[in-house]
Amino acid sequence: MLIDEGSLTRRARIPRRRGFTLVEVLLALVLGAIVLGLASAMGTRLQRQLSREGARLAMGEQLAVAGAVLSPDLRALAVMSGDIRAGEARDTSLELRVTFASALVCGGSGKSVNIAPYLGAFGKSSFPGLQSGDTLWLLADADSGENWRPLRSQASRRTAGSCGAITDAQGGNAFDVAHLWEVDVRDSVTVPVGGIVRGTRPLRYSLYRGGDGKWYLGARSWNSTMSQFNVIQPISGPHAPPALGSRFSYYDSAGVPVSSGALDTRRIARIDVVLVGDATGASLTTRDSLVIVVAPRNRR
């Protein structure tokens, strides 16, 4: 049998494939572990950062809600008329008569008053009607200036007719003359056509501790049937407790603080509300806060 020596030589020269050495495998594993560790650390850090930002945004949203609710109610107070109940201006709560409607007097006689509700935003009327126990306040002129005269409401209902106080189109754009209301009052009264009235009912704002142990800003509406406040309902929160800064403060016209629970609430000329965001469990190094400073528009 003949053998080609050249072919044997060529086969002997074919190189073998080399594998990874143990050192190379260990080095690759170490480098991979370092890369994975860095990626995991960056992901964890980013997740914590996003969690903190989400908590901060939620905190800011709750503070904004509180400001939007409190500011208009405090600004509309008629302090000298007793809108803040004596002894109920406290550092954790405030009991007041909240203005829920304004209207124009169109007429009336005896124990009834016809009114045209004020048109709010976008030309829409949101007049809810008056209940027994609500108060209708008439802006009256006196020798000492304008003041609010109380008329105790018993009931209200829609009525047909026209408003004699409005004689031009501009007045019709400000008041809902197409939907007049007749309000029954307890005492006979003579009201001037064209006078301004506002409707109020009791309301209590409070900082309270919820069932979860956190602090909230809440409100208790008035139940005219039971002649007492309803169960408190949360408005915003959670907030930091009063010991960490959330509070109500009151000042007279000279800037002197009015003590919590003072009987003479007619001295109050400025109301400050401080709400501090609750950072518990959010790993936040700083707390957002809201300071509402209101001088009641109708304090005289």
* Predicted confidence pLDDT, tens digits, the chain (300 residues): 555 555 555 555 555 656 678 777 788 888 888 888 888 778 777 777 766 676 677 788 889 999 999 999 999 898 988 899 999 999 999 999 998 888 888 888 888 889 888 887 766 777 788 887 788 888 887 666 677 888 888 888 888 888 877 766 666 678 888 888 899 888 887 888 888 888 899 999 999 999 999 999 999 998 888 889 999 999 998 999 999 999 999 999 999 999 999 999 999 999 999 999 886 655 555 678 899 999 997 655
What is d(CA 61, CA 46) in angstroms, rounded to the nearest whole number? 22
CB atoms within 10 A of CB 300: 15
The H or E element containing residue 60 is helix 22-75
What is d(CA 264, CA 251) in angstroms, rounded to the nearest whole number? 12
What is d(CA 164, CA 91) in angstroms, rounded to the nearest whole number? 46
**Residue showing tokens 């018993």:** 154
Write down the pLDDT at residue 13.
57
Write down the pLDDT at residue 284.
55
Write down the pLDDT at residue 33.
83
Write down the pLDDT at residue 279.
66
Kindly state whether residues 167 and 251 are assigned to the same domain. no
Between the alpha carbon of residue 141 and those of residues 49, 82, 144, the distances in Å are 60, 18, 8
Kindly state whether residues 261 and 134 are assigned to the same domain. no
Kindly state whether residues 169 and 284 are assigned to the same domain. no
Kindly state whether residues 83 and 212 are assigned to the same domain. yes
* Nearest CA among 249, 241, 292, 235 for reference residue 61: 235
Write down the pLDDT at residue 283.
57
Kindly state whether residues 118 and 193 are assigned to the same domain. yes
**Residue showing tokens 């909230």:** 216
End of a domain among 201, 223, 249?
Answer: 201
Kindly state whether residues 109 and 128 are assigned to the same domain. yes
DSSP structure string for 206-242: EEEE-TTS-EEEEEEEEETTTTEE---EEEEEEE--G
End of a domain among 178, 201, 224?
Answer: 201
End of a domain among 167, 201, 235?
Answer: 201
Give the residues across from 117 on adjacent strands. Answer: 103
Kindly state whether residues 76 and 151 are assigned to the same domain. no
What is d(CA 241, CA 105) in angstroms, rounded to the nearest whole number? 45
73, part of any domain: yes
Write down the pLDDT at residue 21.
80
pTM, full prediction: 0.74
Kindly state whether residues 248 and 106 are assigned to the same domain. no
Confirm if 233 and 217 have CB atoms less than 8 A apart: no
Nearest 5°: CA angle at 14, between 9 and 18?
150
The DSSP letter of residue 258 is: P
201: tokens are 């009912």
How many domains does the structure of the chain reveal? 2
What is d(CA 51, CA 66) in angstroms, rounded to the nearest whole number? 23
The DSSP letter of residue 57 is: H
Nearest 5°: CA angle at 245, between 243 and 248?
105
The DSSP letter of residue 259 is: P
| Domain residue limits at 154 | 96-201
189, part of any domain: yes
Which CATH number belongs to the domain containing residue 105 in this structure?
2.40.30
Grouping H, G, I as helix, E, B as strand and the rest as coil, residue 52 is: helix
CB atoms within 10 A of CB 279: 19
Grouping H, G, I as helix, E, B as strand and the rest as coil, residue 99 is: strand
What is d(CA 63, CA 289) in angstroms, rounded to the nearest whole number? 7
254: tokens are 């000279």
